[in-house]
Structure 1
């Protein structure tokens, strides 16, 4: 197996992340093989495993590292000057919209796919990303509490509530698109009302 310098390792890793995103977006995780990934980066198949344990791990890391999604969702809402209820409602609606628009997130939310992918991942990776995402969410919530948007409450609990609502996206196909959208409108309205300070 070829030995790579640190610079080459970084270049190959970045290539796998970039080409992986392109291939997963175009063909989906199931139809993208490790052969496709290594061919796109010009490396031997055995070299792939120096960087990732599986194509699922590569997919998961690409998914977690999509800063543009986090930036649009959290950063965008921190810059908005909306009334409290509207801001939380807009945040939750945009989260669902991004899940539908983003092809990688769309794959993640397909029936049973997220659990299947997680089973193939090193558990420390799942825990590390969960902790990192929770901290980002808690920081976002703390900022909104300080601004007077959200009622004074445990930021970890509020972040958990927001996260739980987003997980409902897993049931969209099961409920049917039209009914799901109506249900989410009601839930989001109630949650936004309950979590926010009156104007």
Structure 2
């Protein structure tokens, strides 16, 4: 009979799995980390792991989804500042890019080309829900900037698609060329800001 955990125990185990999962995936990547590694690091039985996550990919994605809290804080901080639309848009792009490039887990997955592998292993409805959350989030930010003035009146979902495509470029650093990548991304930000903002 499976062990029944109290709410406090479940929370503790979940937080430990998130913490140890982030450490191991960041250090070894997705492919080289197995469920046994995760359970040993967390000090739990294998069966306990499956009471929380269906697979190591499920855990890895849950960790990535938790990182989205940074995104919410970034946008709230930007919108609470007294800045122009071009400045806020630039802050959003630069802040989001810095987060991705300084996040050990995202760096590990990207360097090993494992982000695509991760998405392939997960149920399509979960990926779709994630994409839809992303779209809603970016649309909200774009709509807010448009209401304040200074941003072109193109449909928010189209601008949102452009902004999301910018962050997807981080998955193609090798194809762009590692030495060129920083300058390419800076230029991309300049082009987006100039193209999407209008003089007040």
Q: Taking structure 2 as the reference length, what is the TM-score of the superposition?
A: 0.87
CA distance in 1: counterparts of 2:74 and 2:150, whole angstroms = 16
Asked if the contact 1:138/1:155 (under 8 Å) is kept, the reply is yes
1:192 aligns with 2:193: yes
Partner of 1:95: 96
Match of 2:173 in 1: 172
Quote the Cα distance in structure 2 between the aligned partners of 1:73 and 1:177.
Answer: 26
Of 69-78 and 170-179, more deviation after overlay is shown by 69-78
Match of 1:2 in 2: 2
Displacement, 1:141?
1.3
In the TM superposition, what is the alpha-carbon distance from 1:67 to its structure 2 partner? 4.0
Give runs of aligned pairs for residues 142-153 of structure 1, distance below 5 A: 142-153=143-154
Aligned residue runs from structure 1 range 1-199, under 5 A: 2-5=2-5, 7=7, 8-110=9-111, 112-199=113-200
1:113/1:27 Cα in 2 relative to 1: closer, same or farther (>3 Å)? closer
Mean alpha-carbon deviation: is it higher for 51-60 or for 181-190? 181-190
CA 10–41 in structure 1, closer or farther in 2 if over 3 Å, else same: same
- Which whole-Å deviations, capped at 9, do the CAs of 1:86-122 have from their partners, x for residues lacking one? 3222321222221111111212333531111111112
RMSD of Structure 2 on Structure 1 (CA):
2.2
CA distance in 1: counterparts of 2:71 and 2:91, whole angstroms: 15
Deviation by residue 1:139-171 (Cα, 9 ceiling, x = unmatched): 111111111142222111111110011111122
Paired with 1:111 and 1:81, the residues of 2 have a C-alpha distance of 40
Q: Deviations over 1:36-91 (max 9, x none)?
A: 22123332112212221211110111011114521453223223333322322232
CA distance in 1, matches of 2:108, 2:19: 17
Give me the whole-angstrom Cα distance separating, in 2, the residues matched to 1:149 and 1:34: 50
Q: Residues of 1 paired with 2:26 and 2:184: CA distance?
A: 29
Aligned residues: 199
**Structure 1 Cα separation of the partners of residues 18 and 174 of structure 2:** 29
Distance 2:59 2:72 in 1: 21
Give the TM-score taking structure 1 as reference length.
Answer: 0.87
The verdict on how the C-alpha distance between 1:150 and 1:6 changes in structure 2, with shifts beyond 3 A counting, is: farther
Question: What are structure 2's unaligned runs of at least 5 residues?
Answer: none
Shift of 1:191: 1.4
